[in-house]
Amino acid sequence: MNDTAPVMRELIKTCSNMYRLGWNERNGGNISLIIDQEEAARYLDTTVSLGNFNFQFDASELAGRIFAVTRTGSYFKNVETDPEHNLGIIKINPDGKSASLLWGFSGGGRPTSELSSHLCSHIVRLRQDKNHRVVTHCHAANTLAMTFIHSLDDRSFTRTLWRMITECIVVFPEGVGVLPWMLCGNDEIGQATAEKMKEYRICIWAQHGIFAAGASLDEAFGLIETVEKAAEIYIKIMNSKILQSITDSELKAVAETFGLDYRKDFLD
């Protein structure tokens, strides 16, 4: 597997765009992407293990699944120039408590420290959507700024975002989930995120970042992009006198016009 594979080219491009937008500074953030087994087999031998990684979380539901994942400590800005060092292809072993390395992590690296959170969310999202493929985590600045000054319940946070841009309720009609600050890199935050992922494709970690899921890299990226744009508008106008805004009745009209299955209880 190398950067000639279409799925890897798309992943590399996404990493570069996320860095360029300032969402993934230094080694902040991570991505995991389910790769179809037949596609993976066209580019590498999926039966040969180059190493093994253990984890505490029970991922037996994902046994046999193949993932492209970012390396722990890797810088998104370097993925494009050295993908084999900064990315890896892993396969979840039958025991559900370990994964085999199929490609990448050259020099002895490991998958992202948030791997358990990713796997938890993949399991939940696959139950909701058989076409689900991507979980990505980033540090989008305006969304994080909101978590310092805005109430953190799902309903009020979603309502504020929906009111910033007309398209928001179209892009994420189910709303967004929000978690208070939690210690990252452990099973606790992974399980809490997965609980939110039962209802949402976006989970916001207060004072930390965004977790987004999607059926493609474009979908997950677009969710973050839209939430972050709405948050940017909110930060820009929060201290201004508001003369007009999108009303609940207008949001309902948008949702009904587009035939959306939206969170009706999030509107008055």
* Active site residues per annotation: 114
Tokens of 165: 């841009």
Calculate the dihedral angle through the C-alpha atoms of 14, 45, 131, 126, rounding to the nearest 10 degrees: -100
Distance of CA 164 to the CA centre of its chain: 22
**Entry field: residues in the chain:** 268
H/E stretch holding 213 reads strand 209-214
CB atoms within 10 A of CB 57: 20
- The dihedrals phi and psi of 49, each to the nearest 5 degrees, come to -95, 130
Which amino acid is residue 163, in one-letter code?
Answer: R
